[in-house]
Structure 1
Amino acid sequence: MADQEQIRFEALLCRALAAEKGAAFAFAVLPMEASALLPRRGRMTVDVTLAAHAFRVTLEPDGRGSHWLRLPESVLEASGNQAGETASFRLQPVDPEPDPELPADFAAALVEIPEARATWAAATPIARVDWIHWITTAKLEKTRAKRIRDACGMLASGKKRVCCFDASGIYSKAFSAPVPGPLPPKKRA
């Protein structure tokens, strides 16, 4: 984390109201001033330090011009922080952006279309992040399947970037940070 200046900020640690896939998780929303220092409004990988505990995470757009980040339970516990507290963070974008993990259903579709696979191979990691984000944010399985078919068609025609996709969620209102749940009772000292 030494090449670029780190972004420092404080944020409230929250627990998600609705547990995603049955698993509760902690998160923090970046203040607008901190998010404004980042190179993009969409998804991006960052190295984060919380109370001397470093980890790598993908920032998610909050649909309001900022980002939010999921906190690994192990880091939250090791840091000594808990939901309801304000914590100090340092973060730095990972440069270059790592290649995203390709979902199995999209990978299988790309195998079937050599032209799409060739364009995918020539796309930048950020473009790939946006393609995958567009596909994985479909709320219905049939929408996801259609997006995979559409992506393969666009890639086969030579499009390296997904069109008509607001990666920030600002204009489409497609993304938001999780809704904070009730705070746990304070531990007595």
Structure 2
Amino acid sequence: MADTTSTRIEFDGHVQTIGDATILRFPDRASAELPSRGQVAVEAELNGRPFETVVEPDGMKGHWLAIDEELLRTLALDDGDPVTLEVRPTKNWPEPDVPQDFRDALAEASDIADTWDSITPMARWEWIRWIRSTKNPDTRARRVEVGISKLRSGKRRPCCFDLSACTDPDLSKNGKLVDAV
């Protein structure tokens, strides 16, 4: 059974496309009800369709939700379409999708498999968020390498990045979610 808080947050909004991504911004009042200015694990329903995800910070004390391709197709959503979102923060974080470059590095570093498996899903989200937070392929490759090294030395979380910033390099500028292009 899910370990949710009693907070149920519901609002109407509009799907927004930024570059290749489709998102839903939280209104200020809805974002203020979340338990953190950073990432928040939630059980959600978008137009009645349930799923689990992590809500992202926008770098301006607000939040946004990525809408994946499957959900877009299932709900037949396009840019600007109205939607209703209901979220319930939960302590049970879903497993993140590990990007291929980091997955390959973890597979090659079999000596840290127990360390990776022993950290929480929340910590795994932080590692992946840190690795993905650059557009520069050389910087990203270095972060994968450094991440493996840090895990090998016993570090359970990446260090030194703003957890309340928008870190998606395709959606942010100076740590803030950009407007639709």
Normalised TM-score (structure 1):
0.74
Q: CA deviation at 1:149?
A: 0.8
Over the matched positions of the two proteins, sequence identity in percent amounts to 32
Aligned residues: 173
Q: Deviations over 1:37-92 (max 9, x none)?
A: 323333344222234333333322211122111333235438xx97164x442111
Which consecutive residues of structure 1, in runs of 5 or more, have no partner in the other structure?
182-189
- SS in structure 1 of the partner of residue 43 of structure 2: strand
Q: Which structure is larger by alpha-carbon Rg, 1 or 2?
A: 1
- SS in structure 1 of the partner of residue 177 of structure 2: coil
1:2–1:109 CA distance, 2 compared to 1 (3 A)? closer
Which consecutive residues of structure 2, in runs of 5 or more, have no partner in the other structure?
167-172
Q: Of residues 29, 32, 40 in structure 1, which corresponds to 2:25?
A: 29
Q: How far apart are the structure 1 equivalents of 2:107 and 2:18?
A: 39
Q: Deviations over 1:4-54 (max 9, x none)?
A: 33432424314324234xxxx3x2211233223323333344222234333
Q: How far apart are the structure 1 equivalents of 2:55 and 2:174?
A: 16
Q: Of residues 122, 126, 129 in structure 2, which corresponds to 1:126?
A: 122
The answer to whether 1:13 aligns with 2:9 is no
Q: How far apart are the structure 1 equivalents of 2:61 and 2:93?
A: 20
Contact 2:4 2:88 in 1 (8 A): no
Q: How far apart are the structure 1 equivalents of 2:31 and 2:105?
A: 35
1:157–1:49 CA distance, 2 compared to 1 (3 A)? same
- 1:184 corresponds in structure 2 to none
Letter in 2 for 1:55: F
- 1:83 corresponds in structure 2 to 80
Q: How far apart are the structure 2 equivalents of 1:4 and 1:139?
A: 35
Q: How far apart are the structure 2 equivalents of 1:50 and 1:110?
A: 33
Q: Map of 1:61-72 to 2, 5 A cutoff?
A: 61-71=57-67, 72=71
Q: CA deviation at 1:133?
A: 0.7
- 1:140 corresponds in structure 2 to 136
- 1:179 corresponds in structure 2 to 179
Letter in 2 for 1:73: L
Q: How far apart are the structure 2 equivalents of 1:103 and 1:17?
A: 21
- 2:170 corresponds in structure 1 to none
- SS in structure 2 of the partner of residue 16 of structure 1: strand
Normalised TM-score (structure 2):
0.77
- SS in structure 1 of the partner of residue 76 of structure 2: helix
Superposition CA RMSD, Å? 3.1
Q: How far apart are the structure 2 equivalents of 1:178 and 1:11?
A: 21
- SS in structure 1 of the partner of residue 95 of structure 2: coil
